[in-house]
Amino acid sequence: ILNVEQSPQSLHVQEGDSTNFTCSFPSSNFYALHWYRWETAKSPEALFVMTLNGDEKKKGRISATLNTKEGYSYLYIKGSQPEDSATYLCAPSGGSNYKLTFGKGTLLTVNP
């Protein structure tokens, strides 16, 4: 089981603000990193699957970067909207069995 840290645990921003959060994980035996968005009363939705060091992925106003050598990934949201309010989960895969280990998530609240 990997030690996965997500920070901050929660944050409140105003509509239009840009924000970012961090996912830290062990850098050894890395295979992939997943980001998911989980809105209340809905199912977790995949945002990105990243595998290569230096990867940058973008989906609309959301983007992510990956540094496998130092063991972290950043998720950025540009111009936050109330509909971005959700818990953002990261899940790296590493070790001998490829299993994804989820972090506790970052709860984002965007105030109109």
Which residues would be at the binding site for another protein (CB under 8 A)? Answer: 4, 31-32, 34, 36, 41-46, 49, 51, 89, 91, 93, 97-105
For residues 2 and 110, which CB has a smaller minimum distance to another protein in the complex? 2
Q: Provide the minimum distance between the beta carbon of 80 and another protein in the complex, in angstroms, as a whole number.
A: 23
List alpha helices for the chain, DSSP H. none
Gap between the Cα atoms of 26 and 69, Å rounded: 9
Question: In the structure encoding, which two tokens stand for residue 42, read together?
Answer: 């809905």
Pairing of strands 86-94, 106-111: antiparallel
For residues 17 and 27, which CB has a smaller minimum distance to another protein in the complex? 27
For residues 12 and 59, which CB has a smaller minimum distance to another protein in the complex? 59
CA 85 vs. chain centroid, Å, equals 14
